[in-house]
Amino acid sequence: MNVIRRLAVVMAILALVLVACGRSNEGGGASGAASLGPAVSSGPVSGDLTVWAMGTEGEKLGLLAKDFMAENPDVRVKVTAVPWDAAHDKITTAIAGNTTPDVSLIGTTWMGEFAKTGALDATPANLDPKSFFEGAFNTSVVNGTSYGVPWYVETRLIYYRTDLAAKAGFTEAPKSWADLMKMAEGMKSKAGAQWGISLQAGGTGSWQTFLPFAWQQGATVIDDQGKFTLDSPEMTKALEYYTSFFKGKLSPTALEPNALEQGFVAGKIGAFVSGPWHIGILKDPKVGGDKITGKWGLMHMPMEKKATSFVGGGDLVVFKDSKNRAAAWKFVEYLSKPEVQVKWFKTVNDLPAVKAAWDDASLKGDENVAKFGDQLNDAQSPPTIATWEQVAAAIDSEVEKATKGTESPADAVKAMQQQATSIGTGS
């Protein structure tokens, strides 16, 4: 008897839980121009603000926060530095536990999943989407609504040894796919480089090197209806081009840590694809410095149908649970001012996401930095779907199979498409 009664109680509780569960139906996302949320008051603000930022940004953001507090004496901004490695988990936990900060820096590729949780506040109309680089602003747009603004950006260019390129017959940077291939071949056959160009052969993040080539060929990752388009003929062509560097032994299939920089300085590697941080690394006397001064340069992505590169960086978001929405967005607005963006560039070398900031002499005057600014006008970001990280990992592993020759490019893109479709967009 007793047992049966207890069982009945358990069943009743379970039934209650089951009834309480179940999703409410969600509406589909609208397409077209990004919609913004209602404007926040632009009057004076007050109260406390908690801001999370990662890496160097987290360490130095206090400087800008001080300036902001000087302008808005009633606001107290508290900056918490979070290590990048722990950031994703920490934000996830905060959302689950309703303990989010007011403002946070977020990696651009995380926008899709965090926006999907419903924890992010839509960007108010006070901020002008057009003042940012288009590719960068798109990282904040999920299902047609913007949930934040880009704070800083990075894009990829090709670093190359100008002296080796000259020996290979290129006194000017190659501008097309065919010429890039020719330069890599020439660097190997005529200039004594072991590798013409280093492209990422696989592993985490290799999609960031591969997708620009796909975009240059006119391929897309996903269409307007939210269907993946990874197995298009353009994608196959792009992967064929990409893998031909490995087939021709122009690119290494495996590089040990630090071997890239050392190889480049020693003239063993003729070129590589990377972001702005490599300027500093190559100028560091411990790595390159005087040894290669005047012997390297940056080139715009090569032109096929387009000359598109990848844009990443960090976005600033405000959480819905913020008790101080007006002040939070005002702080974001402040960080997006051209002069503040320039100051930030001078402080931590982060490239400004705001176009007007690039008129400043400190950016325009630096030849290398200006090249990145130039490329930013033709840079694309991956789709902001909630499952992007997982789709990207599938692309990474198929790229690896293709570059290592265990699978043909045509089969690899088919496998990408099949995996991406089974993963879905998370909506």
Partner 1 sequence: MSGRAAAAGEGAAEIAARSRWQEALIGWSFAAPFVVLFAIFMAGPVLASLVMAFTDLRISDIRNPLSVDFVGLDNFVQLFGDAKFWTTVINTLYFVVIGIPLTMIAGLAAAVGLNQQIVKFRAVFRVGYYLPVVTSIVAIAVVWRLLLSDESGLINGLLGMLGIHGPDWLNDPVLAMPSLIVMAAWRNLGFQMVIFLAGLQTIPQDLYEAANLDGAGRWAQFRGITLPLLRPTLLFSAVITSIGYLQFFEEPFVMTKGGPLDHTLSVSYYIFNQFGFGNYAYAASMSYVLFVAIVGLTLIQFRLLGRED
The verdict on 411 binding partner 1 (CB under 8 A) reads no
Among 24, 25, 171, 225, binds partner 1 (CB under 8 A): 24
Among 5, 27, 43, 256, binds partner 1 (CB under 8 A): 256
The piece of 4-12, 22-30, 166-174, 367-375 that touches partner 1 (CB under 8 A) is 22-30
Q: What is the 3-state secondary structure (H, E, C) of the chain?
A: CHHHHHHHHHHHHHHHHHHHCCCCCCCCCCCCCCECECCCCCCCCCEEEEEEEEHHHHHHHHHHHHHHHHHCCCEEEEEEEECHHHHHHHHHHHHHCCCCCCEEEEEHHHHHHHHHCCCECCCECCCCHHHECHHHHHHHEECCEECCEEEEEEECEEEEEHHHHHHCCCCCCCCEHHHHHHHHHHHHHCCCCCECCECCCCCCCCHHHHHHHHHHCCCCCECCCCCECCCCHHHHHHHHHHHHHHHCCCCCCCCCCCHHHHHHHHCCECEEEECCHHHHHHHCCCCCHHHHCCCEEEECCCECCCCCEEEEEEEEEEECCCCCHHHHHHHHHHHCCHHHHHHHHHHHCCEECEHHHHHCHHHHCCHHHHHHHHHHCCEECCCCCCCHHHHHHHHHHHHHHHHCCCCCHHHHHHHHHHHHHHHCCCC
Q: How far is the CB of 27 from partner 1 (least distance, A)?
A: 15
Segment 70 to 89, residues that bind partner 1, using CB under 8 A: 88
Write each residue from 97 to 136 as x if it is in contact with partner 1 (CB under 8 A), else as -, in one continuous string. Answer: -x--------------x--xxxx-----------------
The piece of 90-98, 214-222, 306-314, 348-356 that touches partner 1 (CB under 8 A) is 90-98
The verdict on 19 binding partner 1 (CB under 8 A) reads no
Question: Which residue matches tokens 């704070």?
Answer: 151
Q: How far is the CB of 297 from partner 1 (least distance, A)?
A: 28
Buried-exposed string 13-48: b where 16+ CB fall within 10 A, e elsewhere = eeeeeeeeeeeeeeeeeeeeebebbeebeeeebeee
Q: How far is the CB of 205 from partner 1 (least distance, A)?
A: 11
Q: How many CB atoms lie within 10 A of CB 89?
A: 10
The verdict on 390 binding partner 1 (CB under 8 A) reads yes
- Judged by beta carbon, residue 100 or residue 375, the one nearer partner 1 is 100
How big is the site for partner 1, counted in residues (CB under 8 A)? Answer: 34
Among 167, 182, 404, 414, binds partner 1 (CB under 8 A): 404
- Judged by beta carbon, residue 220 or residue 397, the one nearer partner 1 is 397
Among 42, 46, 99, 204, binds partner 1 (CB under 8 A): 204
Segment 299 to 358, residues that bind partner 1, using CB under 8 A: none
Q: How far is the CB of 335 from partner 1 (least distance, A)?
A: 26
The piece of 79-87, 211-219, 346-354, 401-409 that touches partner 1 (CB under 8 A) is 401-409
Among 1, 3, 4, 21, binds partner 1 (CB under 8 A): 21
The verdict on 18 binding partner 1 (CB under 8 A) reads yes
Cα radius of gyration (the chain):
24
The piece of 163-171, 287-295, 369-377, 392-400 that touches partner 1 (CB under 8 A) is 392-400
- Judged by beta carbon, residue 116 or residue 237, the one nearer partner 1 is 116
The verdict on 426 binding partner 1 (CB under 8 A) reads yes
The verdict on 401 binding partner 1 (CB under 8 A) reads yes
Interface residues with partner 1 (CB under 8 A)? 17-18, 20-24, 88, 92, 95-96, 98, 113, 116-119, 202-204, 253-254, 256, 386-387, 389-390, 393, 397, 400-401, 404, 406, 426
